[in-house]
Structure 1
Amino acid sequence: MELVWLEDFSALAEYGSFVRAAEARHVTQPAFSRRVRSLENWMGVELFIRTPQGATLTEAGKQILPSAQEAARRLYRMRSEAQEVAGMAAKTLQFAATHSLSFTFFPRWLRSAEKGAPLEAVQLHSDSMAVCEQMLIHGQVQFLLCHRHPDVPPQIPPAQFVSKKVGEDVLVPLAGSSANFGTSPASLPYLAYTQESGLGRIVAHRLQGKADYLHLKPLFSSHLAAVLMSMALENKGVAWLPKSLTEQEVLDGRLVRALDESWDIPLEIHLTRPTAPVSTAAEEFWTKLGSN
């Protein structure tokens, strides 16, 4: 049994695709497939039903998924506890944060959260929402900082994690100030988020059944809000962008509202942690944040 097998198992259960799961795990698909098969051989049962459309969990796979995820977290906690006893990394706080929050919100928020008492060590892992969720599930980080919407729950087991609201944001439909999409609404170029993006899940929920009404024409997609912002600045289309990321560009007049305020999407910014114990330093930081 190898820890990496449990992490691969969880990733394939989430993505339902060997290709996408292998990309998220930063390995080739053949290597990823071999590791999943190794876990199934060790278990002695098939964990996935494989079809040309993807992979779905068998009943056995569904049964052991929560235990496999908890086992991975326990192993990472065991490593952290050993390092603390040895005096290594005892004070390091491990955060995973989506790219859009890493750029602007995280530094300001961390300064305010320190409350005049600087933290000894902080490590920030910045990636897509899907990867950040996996890092939290696997116990590779203690905290996940991300945008949340009440109608779009995160893809993590709710009973195993708890979160606090630490800020607010809003997604605004913006375009470059020099953009000229014509007078006809039939071809409004749309800059979209991919499925790996947490913001993408939220925007997709808001636009469900309404994309045709808005006459949106998908032109470009990325899981990075910063990339979509760059495309909007180049007058390539309309994108729902976080206010926290675009304040300066809007203030400078380089980005302008493309749709009225009824199409804004209010967001909350949450810090999420496991319900299970984390390191002493992490517990102290969580307690210092106070309740919201």
Structure 2
Amino acid sequence: MKCFFKRPPETQKALGDTLAAGLSDTHQDVHDRALFYYRLLQYSPNVAERVVNPPKQAVSVFADTQSSEIKDRIFDEFNSLSVVYQKPSYMFTDKEHRGPFEYSEDLTGLTEDPENVISAQRYQENDNDLLLSTSDKEDNGTRASNGSSTSTYNAPSDLISPSLISSQAPAETSLVNTGGTYSSQSNFSLDDLLGLSVTEAPALPQPTLALNSKPVLDPGTFQRKWGQLALALSQECSLSPQGAVALMNPQSLIRHMQSNHIQCIASGGQPPNYKFFFYAQKDGAAAFFLVECIVNTASAKAQLKIKADDGTAAEAFSSLFQSALSKFGLS
């Protein structure tokens, strides 16, 4: 068929003989395929060409280059409406229907086996959000100003027409403050419950602690230090709504913290709960800071446990860490 559309005069007879042989074949699949092609050509050669030989799109992501954690997340979304809404299922599923996620204090208690724990150095730059098709990613910047968008589905090139299927994205509700009768605290609580944009929290004081831009700490030493050091601080902080959405791809948080000289040595979890182990080193000293960060994207909250070789600098490091975390997803 494809040769026929490239060079019709030379291949017309060969195609006719092939279709005739297929129609007389006793195998049902071969017979049906030949009959389908014959009727398609009989209807319109132009339509048949669009069905059989549509434009091909370059493959940007290969399965063997994706981490096992990314693959598991994709398969977890197969029995959901994630592709329709272009969002992970936890963002449109009621809380009571979400599965529980248990954490342990030990680094080896993550949801993956220790040998499969993903270190920051092994993350690949091309692990993007795989719920979007290639055409969705390319057309991401061309959305209409009214907030609607279209998604493209490319049918199998040998059977189905590559016509575009347009779908109206669910409109997002915006809350408008129409009066001054509500206090700022009540508005903040309502916005937070609805998951809408909230007023920015007061900026944290500028941290004075300087960190080593290239700290080195192997997983064995990290785990030994984590077991030996006492807990310096235990705090809860908030993520911006943009940051909670950006955590659809946990690797983006790891890269963001690396840009602030805070490295990730291990991570794990499934939506909406993620667990990260970070470390940083005080500039000009051998003192390390170790962080266990448990993030719940549904509530946009992060639980922090900080241990430090230099306990006197733990407060300053906590301020620096929270400052970096508060900026995640805003740039």
Q: TM-score w.r.t. structure 1 length?
A: 0.28
Ranked by relative contact order (alpha carbons within 8 Å, sequence separation 6 or more), the top structure is: 1
